[in-house]
Chain A
């Protein structure tokens, strides 16, 4: 225990997180992420501002609902009716988009955890001053802070929009739903960030790390899909390896499912993060 506390000093981790945030805000990789992320969400929220979510919650048109349900159940693996009928529609639509597009953004935002340090050999300036575990944990927490803060800002904008557009939504409902969405997004992003911690420790550049993360995720997803056609149990088992496995739990918006998803997310962090640490702790720098 004393060895762990000696090797994992809060002060060193805080300084490294500060540095990570500065790197994200001032470095080209971070700025590229913020620009794409900002443009994408500005465009999406601008589209939402026309009240498109409210027309989805209006279930008068049978054909429309049938089509929407078909598309949503394919994309989101969930029945979206509950989301639109029981919750502020604009926030729900934002939530669906956020969950669906998150892997793409997290692969980019969290790809430069230790990869940049390894590639530029900046680690050689850090290692005499802090331990490897401090660097690894700080880079993971730094990436989590950057991803969470980015989504928090967008969620807040969506909440404000929802309060203004969704006429029937009382303020308290919008606030509690926003908090629930924020927590869900954090829970959904953690396994992806942990997966990127592993990819990042294996390669020497942020670009390669994002590419490796994307490729591994896609390949495992395709294998899982094909396996489930012939051996459903195997396909399901492989699906458990994917960081996206908490998606259906989180989209149910059920408290019990949310708690379960949080525990599963932590398990993924331990699994992927542990594997990443094993690689990072053993590698020559």
Chain B
């Protein structure tokens, strides 16, 4: 087992206020990991500690076996910070080339590398623009592009798709998916669809503490659960109807307004038949649904675990 991140007893306080408490976890090489939690849970602080932007009040961080500040990591890990801005007045292409030079590329190669990463985010044509002339979404894509410079072994992405249009977000997700064999990604995001889509493990932070580190497959239990987005509110009567199916072990509903119905059933060789039976029951009871997902939705599960 090769670890890319190893933290022990990590704590961080700002002006006496503790925002991260005794966080210990490991990330294995090749396992894309999502960092999730409510606003103020300490995600960005943890992310900044992993990136070397902040220094821990207590505890230790190891990234690829070294301290995040170790110069040996120069070309081995990259970061997409949340709010970092580029230098005003300088062409974005030149800025990316300069960052590539800092990663060890020669001046000529650095320019080629800058073009390559601009192509990934579909902004090759904006090489000559200064950051001031680009929209927020475009600046975000340039920031994403800088994290793809070189061949980093570990890529830390803070809210990679926030503020992007659907097409750009899809494009970035595709690129991450393609790169998952070559690099380990740690993605901090509020977008559970992204996390569910891209990650194998999640780290859940709650009030500065790490409460869960689990595989998403286990969390969402895809084999014995069906989740429906209903067209009407799920009340006790509906839950009662579904509970009558012999293999169903538990029925849960979301909060008012969520219109979520989660049906748990006992695992057997005839899972597909049970699923059909549940669907038939819904149809005969005239209960219409908009969406059906095998397993639980990560967003619902995270919400449940965060309470």
List of B residues within 8 angstroms of A28 by Cβ: 88-89
Assess whether B53 is in contact with A285, with CB atoms less than 8 Å apart.
yes
Give the contacting residue for A124; candidates B68, B74, B84; CB below 8 A: B84
Q: Does B140 contact A (CB under 8 A)?
A: no
One of B55, B86, B94 near A284 (C-beta < 8 A): B55
**Contact partner, A125, options B68, B69, B75, B84, Cβ 8 Å:** B84
Out of A7, A125, A132, name the residue touching B146 (CB < 8 Å). A125
Report the separation of the CA atoms of residues A122 and B86 in the bound assembly, to the nearest whole angstrom: 6
B12 (CB) vs chain A CBs: closest residue: A284
Q: Are A128 and B85 in contact (CB under 8 A)?
A: no
B86 to chain A: closest residue by CB: A122
Max chain A C-beta neighbours (<10 A), residue from B52, B87, B94: B87
Q: Does A215 contact B (CB under 8 A)?
A: no
Residues facing B in A261-285 (CB within 8 A) are 282, 284-285
Give the CA-CA distance A120 to B88 in the complex, in Å: 9
Is A15's CB under 8 angstroms from B102's CB?
yes
| Contact, CB under 8 Å: B71 / A9 | yes
Any chain A CB within 8 A of the CB of B272?
A: no
The answer to whether A128 and B79 have CB atoms under 8 Å apart is yes
A114-149 CB mask vs B (1 if < 8 Å, else 0) is 001000111111111111101000000000000000
Are B99 and A124 in contact, CB atoms less than 8 angstroms apart?
Answer: no
Q: Does A127 lie within 8 Å of B51, measured CB to CB?
A: yes
Asked if B84 contacts A121 (CB within 8 A), the reply is: yes
Question: B80-104 toward A: CB 8 Å interface, digit per residue (1/0)?
Answer: 0101111111100010001101110
Docked CA distance A123–B99 (Å): 11
Expressed in whole angstroms, the Cα–Cα distance for A128 and B75 within the complex equals 8
Q: How many residues of A contact B (CB 8 A)?
A: 31
Whether B98 contacts A121 by the Cβ 8 Å rule is: no
Tell me if B209 is interfacial: C-beta within 8 Å of chain A: no
The residue among B54, B81, B102 with the most chain A CB atoms within 10 A of its own CB is B102
A134 CB → nearest B CB, Å = 8
A124 touches B53 (CB 8 A): yes
Docked CA distance A15–B71 (Å): 15
Task: State the CA gap A131–B70 with chains docked (Å).
Answer: 8
CB neighbours (8 Å) of B98 from chain A are 15, 18-19, 22
Q: Looking at the complex, which one of A22, A125, A134, A285 makes contact with B86 (CB distance below 8 Å)? A: A125
The A-B contact count (CB < 8 A) is 90
Q: Closest Cβ of chain A: how far from B59's Cβ, in Å?
A: 16
Q: How far is the CA of A116 from the CA of B84 in the complex (A)?
A: 12
A contact residues around B72 at 8 Å (CB): 6
Assembled-state Cα–Cα distance A7/B73 (Å): 11
Return A124 CB to nearest CB of chain B, in Å. 4
- In the complex, the answer to whether A124 meets B51 with C-beta atoms within 8 Å is yes
Instruction: State in angstroms the CA–CA spacing of A7 and B52 once bound together.
Output: 15
Whether a CB of chain B sits under 8 angstroms from the CB of A252 is no
Contact indicator per residue, chain A 9-28, by CB within 8 Å of chain B (1) or not (0):
10010011011001100111
B69 touches A129 (CB 8 A): no
How does the 8 Å CB contact mask read for A90-128 relative to B, with 1 for contact and 0 for none? 000000000000000000000000001000111111111
Query: In the complex, what distance in Å separates the CA atom of A24 from the CA atom of B63?
Result: 35
Query: What distance in Å separates the Cβ of B138 from its nearest Cβ neighbour in chain A?
Result: 16
Contact, CB under 8 Å: A120 / B102: no
Whether a CB of chain A sits under 8 angstroms from the CB of B77 is yes
Contact with B along A200-223 (1 / 0, CB 8 A): 000000000000000000000000
Nearest-neighbour CB distance to chain A for B227, whole angstroms, equals 38
Determine the chain A residues whose CB is within 8 A of the CB of B85 once the complex forms: 120-122
Known contacts A15-B102, A128-B52; is-contact A27 B89 (Cβ 8 Å) = yes
A265 smallest CB distance to B (angstroms)? 30
The residue of chain A having its C-beta at the shortest distance from the C-beta of B85 within the complex is A120
Inter-chain CA distance A82–B13, complex, in Å, is: 61
Question: For residue B14, which residues in chain A have a CB less than 8 angstroms away from its CB?
Answer: 284
Find chain A residues with CB under 8 A from B77 CB. Answer: 128
Which A residues are in CB contact (< 8 Å) with B87?
19, 23, 27, 116, 120, 122
A26: chain B residues at CB < 8 Å are 89-90
- CB-defined interface of B29-57 with A at 8 Å, one 1/0 digit per residue? 00000000000000000001001111100
Does chain A have a CB within 8 A of B78? yes
Q: How far is the CB of B54 from chain A (nearest CB, A)?
A: 5
| Contact of A122 (CB < 8 Å), options: B51, B75, B84, B103 | B84
Q: Which residues of B contact A132 (CB under 8 A)?
A: 69
Q: Check A7–B83 contact: CB distance below 8 A.
A: no
Q: Is the CB of A127 within 8 A of B86?
A: no
Residue of B nearest to A27 (CB): B89
The answer to whether residues A128 and B51 also contact, given A19-B98, A22-B94, A122-B84 and a CB cut-off of 8 A, is yes
Chain B residues in 8 Å Cβ range of A19: 87, 90, 98
**A125 to B81 CA separation, bound complex (whole angstroms):** 8
Interface pair B102/A129, CB less than 8 Å apart = yes
- 21 example contacts (A-B, Cβ-Cβ < 8 A) are as follows A9-B71, A15-B101, A15-B102, A16-B102, A19-B87, A19-B90, A23-B87, A23-B89, A26-B89, A27-B89, A28-B89, A120-B85, A120-B88, A124-B51, A124-B81, A125-B99, A126-B102, A127-B69, A132-B69, A284-B54, A284-B55
> With contacts A121-B85, A122-B84 known, what are 13 further pairs, Cβ within 8 A?
A6-B71, A16-B102, A19-B98, A22-B94, A23-B90, A27-B89, A27-B90, A120-B86, A122-B86, A125-B99, A128-B79, A129-B103, A131-B69
Those 3 A-B pairs whose CB atoms lie nearest each other, nearest first: A124-B81, A129-B102, A124-B84
